[in-house]
Structure 1
Amino acid sequence: MAQPVEQPLIAALDIGSSKVSAMIARADETGRLTVLGTGQRESRGVKRGFITDMAASEFAVREAVELAERMSGLTVEDVWASYGAGGLVSDLANVEVELGGHAIEQADINQLLQAGKDAIDKNGQVVLHAHPALFTIDRAQGVHQPIGLHASKLGVDIHVIAAEPAPLRNIDTVIRQAHLGVRAIVASPIAAGLACLSEEERELGVALVEMGAEVTNVSVHYGGMLLGLHSIPLGAKDITNDIAAAFAVQRRDAERLKCFYGSAMTSPRDNHEIIEATQIGAEQGAEPMKLTRAQLMMVIRQRVEELTNEIEAALKTLGFTGPVGRQVVLTGGGAELKNVADYMQGVLGRAVRLGRPKQITGLPDAHSGPAFSTLVGLAMLAASGRGDIRDIAGPVVKPSRNKGMVGRLIDAMKGGY
């Protein structure tokens, strides 16, 4: 009996503004992942998702990957890395080919997808993702499997995510200086969405709010695909900095105050609960400063209100203004602030749930929270394959530029049905 072929290792690397986390996993023949090792280090040299110090970033990447390698007893050669800084651009292209009425064959689909390559030229920007979505045959829209159907015209909608080349080159350089290859750089909202959204949510319409340390990414999913995204240069670290500035404490103490006593919802008891904190420059043995939880809450709420208002504005910009029932999923490290989902639900006037990554065999409990959605999503994407139009070889045919099914989906979403 033949031995099963061992699948290649998958290494995921999430370079954030507060932490760098790595995961080594392996998929079986069915695509099921098993986590073999994880590692995490404090992020250095990253500001608002952009690399600002090559040497510091390289050191953090090297350490996080080495920790994962030590845990797994394995060595990795290349990684799937995330990119979650501002400047991500989401666009849609439609391509169409004439068939003449014959039954659609795989060769016709291949020709169509080859035609799509020319449609994803982003004028100097780097295309991170170019995913074929729904097919159209003549007047029938939203066709998932067109093979065998007769049609005069066959079309497909392609969802494209692109970014400016310089920040991506910096990430690529940092990883390569850590003696690792780069398999792909993945837009963070794609990975996080794969990790914590259900297929049904993505079909019916859902907004994913990925609240990181210094960047919050808002992405809208509808009809099974990501339709638009918007980056907000604010995150959980801003709350920590506000606490540090307001009470003159070190950032690590401000982070502790936020995690242990902080919440997005106030309570009448807050005025009576006393919290102790050590101020910067306090002499050894000096009495700690005393403040009420209400004072701490006032600082936290100001920033949470600002961020929620920015999220609400982003949702309107993206056309996510339909029925109240359309859901928001909140993930990322900032989602771990107590009661933040309940607070946003009240302000946004729609259901908000916490998005945790799907369970993977061997995933440590410490990595099962919202802060690790992108990391888990990277591994899931690597195991499933990119499904990217650029992986298809062949000549390029000039695409048509009509609105396409996805354009009509957006119009439908904005119309609230």
Structure 2
Amino acid sequence: MAKTGPEGLITALDIGSSKVSALIAQKGDGGELVVLGTGQRESRGVRRGYIADMVATEAAVREAVEQAERIAGTNIEDVWVSFSAGGLVSDILKLEVDLGGHRVEQGDVDDLLKAGRDAIDPSGRMVLHAQPTRYTLDGLGGVKRPLGLHADRLGVDIHVVATDGSPVRNLDLCVRSAHLEVRSIIAAPVATGLACLSEEERELGVALVEIGAGVTNVSVFREGVLASLASIGMGAADITDDIASAFGTRRAQAERMKCFHGSANMSPRDHHEMIDVAPVSHEGGAEGSRITRAQLNTVIRARLERLMGEVQRELKRLDFADPVGRQLVLTGGGAELRGIADYAQQALGCTVRVGRPRGLSALPDAHSGPAFATLAGLAAFAASDPVDLRSIEPSRGQTVVRQKGPAIFGRLMAAFKANY
């Protein structure tokens, strides 16, 4: 029988359009994360990242968590949950306060963060993240620890991610209906970036393209944080549907054909290799057909061409179109398609690699691919114990200069608490 979990356990829960996966981890003596158990179930009730069937999704969540608990030999009570649907908005808010030349003390930092908390306005949206990323001293950026340094002006860059409230509330209700407490709901690109990107890559600038089953998230990281992002309502499941429609077979068979025989690249021998295609139904004596691997890959590449075209447009809109020094990382279940990195490199004209989760010990091989990067990133995010301005009490009478920030942000927790 499973026992009550010890202190320091972290449980990550990734609810996607194709699968629901859970991971239980614990910090080791050296600070590393050790995986104790994992679980996975087919996602039932999620469409394009949104909850469409509460009962079906709750059952999948319960089963995935129970499987992870059995393997870990422990019971868990709370989870860190990913949110991967569209509508996410990410930006940086910059604030400054006058210090008069004295040394920076903890009270100065606390007052600045309290003022930053009051300066954020979600404009009806729900705030998922409000985190100080780095400080500035007299306009000098990139200061991680300002304590003890002299300055006339102390500033802070606050990373804010917000989204529409209703989809998040539905996700929260679904998890709580499975008798689990929600520690926090994390934007999937934030978690995935922690799992797949090095700190140096995030500093230099990199684009992360997460190809999920129903949604493809395009994220741009600059100066260490998620600077901007976009969502495309297209994913790996669309490739499966195209195959099923083109060759008259069931989705399950089409998915198998894609995974075992499909590729984003073409070769001359593809015209000679034959693949058996099962019919949609065997009623009436219906018989299957045979196709060449080239026919299968032609269908796959047609959908990829459309997807990469959308990715290219979003990268330009997110100001990531400079051909010099561009780096792009593919992740998500769609990144497991054979040859997709080479295809994306030719289509997008930049260096492309496939991102896999890193930084976890004892992670099973079945959960070590790009499809589980968000799950691993959730655990890493939780272990980092990030500062969040939503937990800070409001400031009173603090005078702050707002240098720059997104128009959609200005009041913070009044709207957040009302919505969440």
Scaled by the length of structure 1, the TM-score of the pair is 0.93
- In structure 2, what is the equivalent of residue 292 of structure 1? 292
5 Å-filtered alignment, 1:51-66, equals 51-66=51-66
CA contact (8 A) 2:274 2:292 kept: yes
- In structure 2, what is the equivalent of residue 105 of structure 1? 105
Residue by residue, what CA displacement relative to the aligned partner does 1:342-365 show, whole Å, maximum 9, x if unpaired?
A: 100011111000000004112100
Tell me if 1:177 matches 2:184: no
| Aligned amino acid, residue 259 of structure 2 | C
Tell me if 1:125 matches 2:125: yes
In 1, distance between residues paired with 2:161 and 2:26? 27
CA contact (8 A) 2:25 2:34 kept: yes
In 2, distance between residues paired with 1:358 and 1:86? 26
What is the RMSD of the two structures over their aligned residues, measured on CA atoms?
1.5
| Aligned amino acid, residue 400 of structure 1 | V
- In structure 1, what is the equivalent of residue 18 of structure 2? 18
Q: 1:284 to 1:69 in 2, by over 3 A?
A: farther
- In structure 2, what is the equivalent of residue 311 of structure 1? 311
In 2, distance between residues paired with 1:386 and 1:146? 18
Q: 1:149 is paired with a residue of what secondary structure?
A: coil
Q: 1:207 is paired with a residue of what secondary structure?
A: strand
Tell me if 1:387 matches 2:384: no
In 2, distance between residues paired with 1:79 and 1:185? 9
- In structure 1, what is the equivalent of residue 411 of structure 2? none
In 2, distance between residues paired with 1:139 and 1:192? 31
Q: 1:128 to 1:399 in 2, by over 3 A?
A: farther
In 2, distance between residues paired with 1:47 and 1:180? 22
Tell me if 1:327 matches 2:327: yes
| Aligned amino acid, residue 56 of structure 1 | A
Q: 1:182 to 1:398 in 2, by over 3 A?
A: farther
Q: 1:24 to 1:284 in 2, by over 3 A?
A: farther
Identity rate of aligned residues, in percent? Answer: 60
**In the comparison of the two structures, how many residue pairs are matched?**
399
- In structure 2, what is the equivalent of residue 411 of structure 1? none
In 1, distance between residues paired with 2:353 and 2:325? 12
Q: 1:402 is paired with a residue of what secondary structure?
A: strand
Deviation at 1:281, TM superposition (A): 2.1
- In structure 2, what is the equivalent of residue 403 of structure 1? 404
CA contact (8 A) 2:33 2:359 kept: no
Tell me if 1:242 matches 2:273: no
Deviation at 1:258, TM superposition (A): 0.2
| Aligned amino acid, residue 174 of structure 1 | C
In 2, distance between residues paired with 1:149 and 1:323? 39
Tell me if 1:157 matches 2:144: no
5 Å-filtered alignment, 1:163-312, equals 163-283=163-283, 287-312=287-312
Deviation at 1:401, TM superposition (A): 2.6
| Aligned amino acid, residue 290 of structure 1 | R
- In structure 1, what is the equivalent of residue 412 of structure 2? none
- In structure 1, what is the equivalent of residue 415 of structure 2? none
CA contact (8 A) 1:101 1:150 kept: yes
Q: 2:157 is paired with a residue of what secondary structure?
A: strand
Deviation at 1:398, TM superposition (A): 5.8
CA contact (8 A) 1:276 1:289 kept: yes
Q: 1:91 is paired with a residue of what secondary structure?
A: strand
- In structure 2, what is the equivalent of residue 48 of structure 1? 48
List alignment gaps of at least 5 residues for structure 2: 1-5, 406-420
Q: 1:218 is paired with a residue of what secondary structure?
A: strand
5 Å-filtered alignment, 1:58-77, equals 58-77=58-77
Deviation at 1:43, TM superposition (A): 0.1
CA contact (8 A) 1:94 1:402 kept: yes
CA contact (8 A) 2:81 2:186 kept: yes
In 1, distance between residues paired with 2:303 and 2:72? 40
Scaled by the length of structure 2, the TM-score of the pair is 0.92
| Aligned amino acid, residue 147 of structure 2 | I
CA contact (8 A) 1:276 1:290 kept: yes
Deviation at 1:323, TM superposition (A): 4.0
CA contact (8 A) 1:7 1:28 kept: no
In 2, distance between residues paired with 1:314 and 1:400? 32
